[in-house]
Structures are given as structure tokens and as C-alpha cells.
């Protein structure tokens, strides 16, 4: 676990998260932002954005988001390219779990978009936490000398399979019909592991077991089922629906996070901005919510400091 205590940890590097970081870091708050993919999020991609104020001739998404990132760095935001897999409220301290470890902060701002996490495999929800996992660093120690399967094609899936191979007796990895997307160096390390077997083309169709995982069923591969004790589902884009619900954050019937006028959720010290709140892709509204949350975090921490003194 990181020994550092951050004033704020921001989950997601889209327009809302970057703006929040600009506001918190500019106020002197120790700010850490996690983004596992592209800084700027989906806003980085458009060839032309014509409705963002200040650019009468339009601006590309890359140009606009790169400017957001540069400004955040200038004010001192720390960036980490890690996938967030857990969030826990411990009162005055919030714990954020990534594939790289644990981090702690006084406040958290969620800016993660509207992706959905689970792969929607039959048996996944029933056996979640009883053999179904989304992170080897979290749950790998429960499967020492056992047989496990990893489902995923990206770098995170490959790294988790390598990590599991150090303790599990056997690791099957299913990259899907399109094959691996991880880099060559990561793949070479995986293929050197004698207890790892790649099942090219095999697709996971169900996770089976009564109280715990006992086996999985497959299609389009050399076998129709495998006896395993654990199944690690590692999609390339890790959404946040499960993470948010597990943390006790309230959402509406459309899965959007419910916030108050300061962007705070039902949990004191945890805020949310952008698509995960509004459900709509507008850079200007996400940035505005990020500014509101950044200022609210500053007031929140300043209030706590006054109470301590």
C-alpha cells in the first residue's frame, strides 16, 4: 500500500477529471489522477469540436484534451496509468485499489464515463466473490496451487495471467476470437510460463458451480469445458458499475450516479462528474462539473483542517 496520503484521487482522465485536477492542484491540494487508457477519454478522438467556447473555427479533440493535460501537469497533478478495480469508504480516508496496489486519499472524484464492467457471462453475478474475480493482485492468493482461467486479450489480462502463474498450478487464458492485443514483450513473458496454456479462439459461455466456481463451459475451441476454481474476467476497458455499487454509491434507475449541487455523492467526501452523472457526452458540461467538484473538494478539506486545529 502506498504510504502517501493524497488530498484527492481522481478516477478517470476525461474532461471532467482533468478539470477537477486543474482546480484541486491549483489550490495546492495533493492530487492523483488514474487513467488506464487515453488521457482525455473519448473527447480526445473527434476530428473537430465546433461547440467548445473559445474556438470559433473549431478544434480537434486531441488538441483540446492535450491542452487540458498540459495545464493539469503544470499545476502539479500526478498521473498514473493504472486500472482502478476497487473503492472503499473508510470514513475520513478513502481507499482506492488498482492493479498496482492500494492508494489512500481524503477525498475521491469519480470521472469514469458510462462503460459497463461485467462481461455478462451466465453465472458471473451468482459466483462473484466465490471464484469469479476481476483482479489477480486482489484475489490471486486465494488460488494457490489451483487451476484458474483468465478471460481477456489486453495487457492487464496478460499481466494477471503471468502473476497467477507464479502461484497457481495451471492457468488457462482465453483471448477470444480476435486474439491478443497486448504488447509483444508482455506476450513473450506469458508464453515462457510452462504452466500457462493459451486457448486461442475459445469463447467463455458460462461459469458453473453451486456455492463456488467448479468449471466453465466453452465454445469454438478444443474442449467444451474446463475444471477450474477461479475465473478472472479482465476486459480491456474496465467499467465502473460494479465498483460504484460495491462502494455503496447510489445511482438512479439508468445507472447514473446521484449527486448534490456540489457534485458530492451520498458518501461524504466522494464526488462524481461527467458522463457517469449526466449520461451525455458534452465536454463543456463535464468540465463545468469538474470545476464544481474541484472547488467543493477544496472547501471540504479546508473545513476538515479547521476542525482539527
Rg (CA), the chain: 21
- Residue that finishes a domain, picked among 209, 233, 257: 233
Residues 221 and 142 in one domain: yes
Asked if pLDDT for residue 238 goes beyond 60, the answer is no
Spatial distance between the Cα atoms of 243 and 238, rounded to a whole number of angstroms: 10
> Taking a C-beta distance cutoff of 8 angstroms, is the pair 117, 124 a contact?
no
Question: 144 and 279 in one domain?
Answer: no
Q: What pLDDT, on a 0 to 100 scale, did the predictor assign at position 169?
A: 97
For residue 127, being part of any structural domain is answered with no
pLDDT (tens digit per residue) in 241-262? 667 878 899 988 777 889 999 9
Residues 94 and 108 both lie in one domain: yes
Is a pLDDT exceeding 90 seen at residue 24?
Answer: yes
> Is the domain of 211 the same as that of 243?
no
211 neighbors 130 (Cβ within 8 angstroms)? yes
Neighbours of 303 (CB within 10 A): 10
| Same-domain status, 228 and 244 | no
CATH classification of the domain holding 299: 3.50.50.60
Name the nearest CA neighbour of 199 among 167, 174, 232, 233: 174
Q: What is the pLDDT of residue 308?
A: 61
Residues 145 and 222 in one domain: yes
- Domain limit, last residue, from 212, 233, 254: 233
Query: Looking at the structure, do residues 173 and 250 belong to the same domain, yes or no?
Result: no
Q: What pLDDT is recorded for position 136?
A: 82
More confident residue, 177 or 39: 39
pLDDT for res 243: 77
**Mean pLDDT score across all residues of the chain:** 89
Task: Give the mean pLDDT of 144-152.
Answer: 96
Evaluate whether residue 100 is within a structural domain. yes
- Which among 7, 75, 79 has a CA at the least distance from the CA of 36? 79
Residue 124, in any domain of the structure: no
State whether 222 and 204 are in the same domain: yes
137 and 211 co-located in one domain: yes
**Residue that finishes a domain, picked among 218, 233, 248:** 233
88-110 in b/e form (b: 16+ CB < 10 A) is ebeeeebbbbbbeeebbbbbbbb
Q: Evaluate whether residue 225 is within a structural domain.
A: yes
**pLDDT for the residue 116:** 41
Angle between helix axes 15-26 and 61-75 (nearest 10 degrees) is 20
In a domain, 121, yes or no: no
What's the average model confidence in pLDDT over 2-30?
94
Q: Is the Cβ–Cβ distance between 136 and 160 less than 8 Å?
A: yes
Going by C-alpha positions, the residue among 296, 283, 269, 133 that lies closest to residue 212 is 133
Total domains present in the chain: 2
Asked if residue 251 and residue 227 are part of one domain, the reply reads: no
Give yes or no: residues 202 and 251 share one domain.
no
Q: What is the mean pLDDT of residues 294-304?
A: 94
- Please report, to the nearest 10 degrees, the dihedral formed by the alpha carbons of residues 224, 213, 251, 98 taken in order: -100
Domain contains 110: yes
pLDDT digit string, tens, across residues 158-210: 989 999 999 999 999 999 877 888 888 889 999 999 999 999 989 999 999 99
C-alpha–C-alpha distance, residues 199 and 177, integer Å? 10
**pLDDT one-digit tens code per residue, 95-130:** 999 888 899 999 999 998 765 444 578 999 899 878
pLDDT value for 237: 53
pLDDT tens digits along 49-102: 888 899 999 898 899 999 999 999 999 999 999 888 889 999 999 999 988 889
> Could you tell me if residue 126 is inside a domain?
no
Domain that holds residue 280: 5-116+239-308
Whether 276 has a pLDDT exceeding 80, the answer reads yes
What's the rounded mean pLDDT across residues 222-236?
89
Phi-psi category of residue 281: left, alpha or beta, with phi > 0 → left and psi -120 to 50 → alpha:
beta
The residues with which 203 forms a beta bridge, in sequence order, are 219
259 in the same domain as 212: no
Q: Taking 70 as the threshold, does the pLDDT of residue 33 lie above it?
A: yes
Does the pLDDT at position 309 exceed 90? no
Write down the pTM of the prediction. Answer: 0.69
Amino acid at each position: 500500500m502506498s504510504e502517501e496520503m493524497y488530498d484527492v484521487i481522481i478516477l478517470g482522465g476525461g474532461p471532467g477529471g482533468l478539470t477537477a485536477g486543474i482546480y484541486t492542484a491549483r489550490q495546492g491540494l495533493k492530487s492523483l489522477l488514474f487513467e488506464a487508457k487515453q488521457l482525455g477519454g473519448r473527447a480526445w478522438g473527434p476530428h473537430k469540436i465546433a461547440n467548445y467556447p473559445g474556438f470559433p473555427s473549431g478544434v480537434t479533440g486531441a488538441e483540446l484534451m492535450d491542452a487540458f493535460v498540459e495545464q493539469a501537469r503544470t499545476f502539479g497533478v500526478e498521473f498514473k496509468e493504472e486500472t482502478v478495480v476497487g473503492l472503499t469508504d473508510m470514513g475520513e480516508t478513502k481507499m482506492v485499489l488498482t492493479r498496482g496496489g492500494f492508494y489512500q486519499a481524503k477525498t475521491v472524484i469519480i470521472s469514469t464515463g458510462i462503460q459497463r464492467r461485467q462481461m455478462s457471462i451466465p453465472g458471473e453475478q451468482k459466483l462473484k466473490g466465490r471464484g469469479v474475480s476481476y483482479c489477480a493482485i486482489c484475489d490471486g492468493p486465494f488460488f494457490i496451487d489451483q487451476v484458474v482461467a483468465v478471460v481477456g486479450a489486453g495487457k492487464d489480462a496478460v499481466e494477471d495471467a503471468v502473476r497467477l502463474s507464479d502461484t497457481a498450478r495451471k492457468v488457462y487464458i482465453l483471448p477470444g476470437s480476435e486474439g491478443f492485443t497486448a504488447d509483444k514483450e508482455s506476450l513473450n513473458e506469458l508464453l515462457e510460463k510452462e504452466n500457462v496454456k493459451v486457448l486461442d479462439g475459445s469463447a467463455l459461455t458460462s461459469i458453473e458451480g453451486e456455492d463456488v466456481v467448479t468449471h466453465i463451459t466453452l465454445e469454438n475451441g478444443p474442449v467444451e469445458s474446463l475444471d477450474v476454481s477461479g475465473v478472472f474476467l479482465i476486459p480491456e476497458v474496465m467499467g465502473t458499475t460494479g465498483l460504484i455499487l460495491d462502494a455503496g454509491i447510489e445511482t438512479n434507475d439508468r445507472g447514473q450516479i446521484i449527486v448534490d449541487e456540489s457534485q458530492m455523492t451520498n458518501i461524504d467526501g466522494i464526488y462524481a462528474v461527467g458522463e457517469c452523472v449526466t449520461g451525455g457526452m458534452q465536454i463543456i458540461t463535464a468540465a463545468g462539473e469538474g470545476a464544481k467538484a474541484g472547488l467543493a473538494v477544496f472547501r471540504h478539506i479546508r473545513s476538515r483542517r479547521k476542525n482539527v486545529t
